[in-house]
Amino acid sequence: MKKEGLGSRAFDVVNVLIMLFILVVVLYPILNIVATSLSSARYISAGSVTIWPKGFSTQAYTTVFQDPYIFKGYLNSILYAAGSTGIMLLFTALMAYPLTIPGFAAKKFLTIFLMVTMFFGGGLIPTYLLMRNLHLLDTIWVMILPGAISAYNVFLFRTFFMNIPSELKDSAYIDGANDMVVLFRIVLPLSKALFATFALFGLVGSWNSWFEALIYLRDQDKYPLQMVLRNYLFTLDTTAIQGRVGGGSVAINAPGSALDPKAVRMSVIIITMFPIMCIYPFFQKHFNQGIFVGSVKG
């Protein structure tokens, strides 16, 4: 018993040390970004900023917030994230629920059809041509509709719905309810953990998405925040006399001034990360339950 107790304590100590190491590896870059965004130019140029600001300055944030494309990017990203996530949850539930009904005639066909899409994709060029033929290019819908249905999500939703006791649905049918009533009054209210998990995945995925905007959007007024961030990261140059960033309305002076382009980059990164960092705690309670969906019954 003493040997087992000693081995258990040693195991716990090793686990704690590993977790602390991972925490440092993950936390250090974030602290460095925050510190750099709040430091003055001479300390950043000297490379002396680590995890604590030196020569505290908020000028980078003041400069960034002067760019109107930051606020437009925020609003667009919120619209795209909320719209695409809401449509994804609704259409996935509507697609998955019929696959749980034993007497549904097209269940086998739809299951095979969805499985095929998991192994074969059309590719970028056919998808672009499809968006063009549907007249979705350079519209907000091109950022919302393409992710409405995912075969992987449908199968996970189906698995979760199948684990809901059939007696609840049978009693509703006896009382005269139809399938839509059963879905919206019984199945969906019992699937809060599932919806919270996939809502978090959908929001984070849409918020971090920039490639679709790069391919499908031309109007800068429709750019999401990640595209604005990309413009800052790629157009700011520390050797430039004057770098135009964002939508071209904010000028960053050359090194030697009170503002360093690197501080601007880091401030935009913090501004971009902040909403997701605020959202996660509200989803965590349901996320911990829903993350294991599909692990018991396939």
| pLDDT at site 63 | 85
Angle 49-61-201 from CA coordinates, rounded to 5°: 90
pLDDT digits 0-9 by tens, 100-113: 888 888 888 999 99
| CB contact at 8 A, 150 and 118 | no
Question: Any bridge partners for residue 245, and if so which?
Answer: 250
For residue 211, the tally of other CB atoms under 10 A from its CB is 11
**Exposed (0-12), middle (13-18) or buried (19+): which is 96, by Cβ within 10 Å?**
buried
Please report, to the nearest 10 degrees, the dihedral formed by the alpha carbons of residues 205, 208, 212, 216 taken in order: 130
- Average pLDDT value for the chain: 82
Task: Please give the CATH topology (third level) of the domain spanning 59-298.
Answer: MetI-like fold (1.10.3720)
Confidence of residue 239 (pLDDT cuts 50, 70, 90): very low
| pLDDT at site 240 | 42
pLDDT digits 0-9 by tens, 12-22: 888 899 999 99
CA 281, 86, 129, 111 dihedral sign is: positive
| pLDDT at site 9 | 83
pLDDT score of 238 more than 70: no
Tokens of 9: 């304590």
Q: Furthest-apart CA pair in the chain: how many Å?
A: 78
| CB contact at 8 A, 40 and 54 | yes
Please report, for the chain, the start and end positions of each structural domain, with discontinuous segments joined by +: 59-298
Q: How many helices (H) and strands (E) does the chain have?
A: 13, 2
